[in-house]
Structure 1
Amino acid sequence: MLVNGVELCVETFGSSADPAVLLIHGACASMLWWERELCASLAARGRFVIRYDNRDTGLSVSYPPGSPGYALSDLVLDAVGILDALGIERAHVVGRSMSGAIALALGVEHAARVASLTFLATTTGDPELPEMTPEFLEASSAAAPSDVENIVTVLRAYAGSSPYFDEDAVRALAVEDVARTVNIQSAMTNHFCMEFDAPRSGGFGDVVAPTLVVHGAIDPVYPLAHGEALRDAVPGASLLVLDAVGHDLPRAVWPLFVDALVVHTST
C-alpha cells in the first residue's frame, strides 16, 4: 500500500464496518509480532483490526542500515495515512513499547482521528524512573550465531523471569520474520538511529482520548513504575497490570488483554 509517499505492508482482520483498532508495534518489530491468532481473536469480538510493518521492518520500505530516511514524525504520518487509505475516520490506537511515542503524537496532534489510546509496555521517558534491569542488559547483549537466534535471545531477555516465555513459538516466528524482511540489519538498527521529533506540541497531560495503560508486572525494560507513571500522566487513564509478564505479550494473557481492549474500545 502506498502511504505517505512510501510502500507499507498492511493487513486487516474482520469487518471494516466494525470499530477500527490500529496496532502499532515497537522498535525493530514487524507486524508479525502482533500474532495472527491474537488479531483474529480481537476481530472475532467485533473489531476491525489493522496491523502493519513500520518502515524498515518486514515488507515495508527499507533504508540502508544506520541511515533511516525518516524521523518519528514520519511514522506518525504513516499511521494517519493508513487510516486515510482504509477510509477510517477514527481508530482505537494501540502503541507498544517505542511506538507509545507514535500513539502519543497521534493522540495530541491528530486527536480527531483517535477514538481511544492504549499504551502497552511503554514509558513517559522520565529519566527519574527505574532503568533497565542489569539482568536484561546482560541477557540482551549476549552473542547469537544468527539473525534468528539474535531475535530469540533478545525476546527471551524481554520476557525476563516470566514463566510464559515460549521459545519454540518465538523461534518459529523469528524464522518467518527474517525470511520476509527486506533488510534484517536495517530492521535491527534503524529505529534506534532516527530522530525522535514527535510529538512536536503537547504531551501526556494533553491527551483527551480515553486511555488504557497495559504493563507487565516484571517488565525488565521499563519496570512497572513506568506504567504507573504513564497512568498518572494521562488524565483519567487506567492501568492493567499483567502478572508475571515482562516486556512482551505472551499467549497466556491474550484473553485478559483482548477482554480489556474490547471493553476499552466500546466507549
Structure 2
Amino acid sequence: MTTVTTPAGVSLNYDTFGDPGSPPLLLIQGLGAHMLGWRAELCRQLADEGFHVLRFDNRDVGLSQKFPHGGYTLADMANDSEGLLAALDIPAAHIVGQSLGGMIAQQLALDHPTRVLTLALVYTAPSTDFIAGRDVVDERTQHPRARDRDEAIAQYLDIEAGCASPGYPRDITWLRELGGQMYDRDYDPDGILRQVEALYNSPDRTPRLHRITAPTTILHGDGDRLIDPDASTVMHELITDSKLTIYPGMGHELPPQLWPQIITQIRDNTARGIA
C-alpha cells in the first residue's frame, strides 16, 4: 500500500494487483468502507482475468486524507478518483463501484467521461430516494464510539448484519477479520458521518444518467435491504445499452459463491470498451 497526492492536493492511500501493463480496473468502495473491503482474493481473481486492479481508501476513511470540516459532495469524491488516475498517469480505466462507490462512479462517468472506459455499478442507486434501509445507514452512524478493538469488531458485525444475503451464508470469520483490520488501520467513525453528509448533500443524478456513454453493466441482489433493487432497473432504463443482472438471494454484499458470475459480468462488459 502506498499514498499518492492528486493534482488537487488530496492524499489517497491505494494498492494494486496484477501486471501494471494490463488494462487498469479501478475499484471504488462504499460508505465508510476501507479498500480492504474489496477482498484481496477477489482482486487477485480480477487480476488473473488480465487487469491491473487498483483499490483505494476514499477520503475520510482508512489511510486517506481526512476532511474534519466536511462540506464536500460526491462530485468531490469523484474528483478524487479522477485525481488518483491522473496522479498515476493512467489516462482512463475500467471503473467498478459498489454502493456509495457506485454513486461516485456514476458521478465520475458524468463529470470525467474520458477517464471511464467502462462502468460496473454494483448495488447502487442514482439518488437517495432508493435507500430502503435508512435504519441500516443510521446504524452505521449512531453506535457509540467503540472503547477498544473487540468492541469495534462487535459493532462492525452488528452493522454488517443488515447487508447479509438471505440466500448465502455470512462469512463471519472474514467479517471479524476485516473489522479488526479496519480498527488497526484507522478507527474514525466521524469520517462516516461526513460521507453520509456528502451523500445527502449531492444532487439526484437521474436526470443526467442518459449522458453516460461508457458501456455499463449493472449488478444487484434481490435480497438487498439497504438499496432497493428498483434503483438498478431505473439506471438500466436510462443508461443506453446498459446490461442488468439481478442475483437471487444476494444482499448488499458480494458472496464468494457469486464471484465467478460477477467477475464474468465485469470482464465481458470491459470487452465492450476500448482498452
TM-score by length of 1: 0.89
What SS does the aligned partner of 1:153 have? helix
Is the 1:219–1:247 Cα contact (8 Å) retained in structure 2? yes
The counterpart of 2:158, out of the listed 149, 153, 157, is 153
Following TM superposition, by how much is the alpha carbon of 1:186 offset from its aligned partner in structure 2, in angstroms? Answer: 2.4
| Residue 203 (structure 1) aligned to one of 205, 208, 211 | 208
Using a 3 Å threshold, how does the CA distance of structure 1 residues 139 and 6 change in structure 2: closer, same or farther?
closer
SS in structure 2 of the partner of residue 124 of structure 1: coil
Distance 1:245 1:139, change over 3 A: farther
Gaps of 5+ in 1: none
Distance, in Å, in 2 between the alignment partners of 1:13 and 1:199 is 34
Cross-structure match for 1:224:
229
Q: Does 1:54 align with 2:55?
A: no
Q: How does 1:1-267 map to 2 (within 5 A)?
A: 1-3=4-6, 4-64=8-68, 67-68=69-70, 70-125=72-127, 127=129, 131-132=132-133, 146-181=151-186, 183-194=187-198, 196-197=201-202, 203-267=208-272
Superposition deviation, residue 214 in structure 1: 0.5
Q: Secondary structure at the match of 1:22?
A: strand
Work out the percentage of aligned pairs sharing the same amino acid: 29
- Distance verdict in 2 for CA 1:190–1:139, change over 3 Å: closer
Q: Secondary structure at the match of 1:102?
A: helix
Q: Displacement, 1:141?
A: 8.7
2:102 corresponds to which letter in structure 1? Answer: G
Q: Which segment drifts farther, 113-122 or 149-158?
A: 149-158
Contact persistence 2:134–2:226 (CA under 8 A): yes
3-state DSSP of counterpart to 1:9? strand
Matches of 1:235 and 1:257, distance apart in 2:
21
**Whole-Å Cα distance in 2 between the matches of residues 13 and 189 of structure 1?**
30
Query: Scaled by the length of structure 2, what TM-score is found?
Result: 0.86
Deviates more, 1:95-104 or 1:142-151: 142-151
Q: Say whether the 8 Å CA contact 2:218–2:244 is kept in structure 1.
A: yes
Structure 2: state its 5+ residue gaps. Answer: none
Q: Number of aligned residue pairs: give it.
A: 262
- Any idea what SS the aligned residue of 2:181 has? helix
